[in-house]
Structure 1
Amino acid sequence: MLHQATAVAIGGRAVLLEGEPGIGKSSLALSLIDRGAVLVGDDGVILSRQGAILWAAPPPHTAGLLEIRNVGIVTLPTVIAQVALALTLTTDAPRYIERAGEATRGDLPIPHLAFDPRGPASAVRAEYALALHGLPRTETA
């Protein structure tokens, strides 16, 4: 199923970047890619469930395309990755949380955080969010 989100993979685990148009999903993805993440999809990903694992893949019609605001569209390598965390980008995210919430994607529970994308450390904070709250990578046969 097509899911309206941008996603990147960090160490084989996908982070879904969700939120309203213009909130900064592609910009956060670009910052994460600059730090070593790999694009799954920009402005839409294909989610598919295989057992207890949710996978994110690039949609065929936009695979590898990432919009860089005020610059244009670039083509990047893509991967398919296990969904480990959903971040809903919003400017009114709580400053402190004790634990992640839960969102259902593809009929599976996924750790979820409201996430403020503003500030120079947003990519680092997203990496820490994945490390602290993301699902572990499941090895598949």
Structure 2
Amino acid sequence: MTGDEAALDVRHAGLIALRLGGRWRGALIEGPSGAGKSDLALRALDAGFRLVADDRVATFASGGKPWGKPPAPLAGLIEVRGLGVVDAAALPFCEIALAIRCVAAPEQVERLPEPRFAPVAGVSVPVFDLWPREPAAPLKIRRMMQSLGVAT
């Protein structure tokens, strides 16, 4: 990160990351409360991702790229529904490569969607809809990153 870190925008989301091309690249997971964001993040951890933030993500732009980190009180914590809030090994921050929008039902995910983008910290990022409860959801996020050339 450089010194041009702007004001933080805290979003109701989670952030998971993969080490790709020698650096940590992240997927911002957004959706309403109870949509399955934390559950998806938990399963992604078992699929090789690392936690950056759960429940809230402080986003900012630096060097022309969007970044995310956890608000200090939530660093290193993830909610496991039915168990509570537990410690998790977490990264302090990562670049945000794409955004995942959690949908309520699998039928809401288009089979062949047109490319979409949305601003994160004022920077445009690719956006994908995903049903978070699908068993293959963490693997789909990995493939989304690969299809964008993020995983090279």
| Fold equivalence (TM over 0.5) | yes
Q: CA separation in 1, counterparts of 2:26 and 2:94?
A: 5
Shift of 1:99: 4.3
| Equivalence for 2:94 | 81
- Whether contact under 8 Å (1:100, 1:133) holds in the other structure is no
SS, match of residue 74 in structure 2: coil
- Whether contact under 8 Å (1:85, 1:110) holds in the other structure is yes
- Whether contact under 8 Å (1:85, 1:133) holds in the other structure is no
- Whether contact under 8 Å (1:58, 1:78) holds in the other structure is no
Identical aligned pairs, as a percentage? Answer: 30
SS, match of residue 23 in structure 1: coil
Shift of 1:10: 1.2
- Whether contact under 8 Å (1:40, 1:81) holds in the other structure is yes
Within the candidate set 60, 76, 101, 2:72 is matched to: 60
| Equivalence for 2:118 | 103
Shift of 1:123: 1.3
| Equivalence for 1:114 | 129
Q: CA separation in 2, counterparts of 1:100 and 1:87?
A: 13
Q: Deviations over 1:80-127 (max 9, x none)?
A: 110001000002533312443101111110000111113221111121
Q: Deviations over 1:27-63 (max 9, x none)?
A: 0000111112111110111111112111111110110
SS, match of residue 33 in structure 1: helix
- Whether contact under 8 Å (2:53, 2:69) holds in the other structure is yes
Provide the TM-score with structure 2 as the length reference. 0.83
Query: Are positions 1:127 and 2:135 aligned together?
Result: no
Shift of 1:67: 0.3
Shift of 1:130: 1.9
Within the candidate set 33, 41, 54, 1:21 is matched to: 33
Letter in 2 for 1:82: E
CA RMSD of aligned residues (A): 1.6
- Whether contact under 8 Å (2:40, 2:133) holds in the other structure is no
SS, match of residue 139 in structure 2: helix
Structure 2 spans left out of the alignment, 5+ residues: 1-7
Q: CA separation in 1, counterparts of 2:125 and 2:108?
A: 18
Runs of 4+ in structure 1 over 6 Å off: none
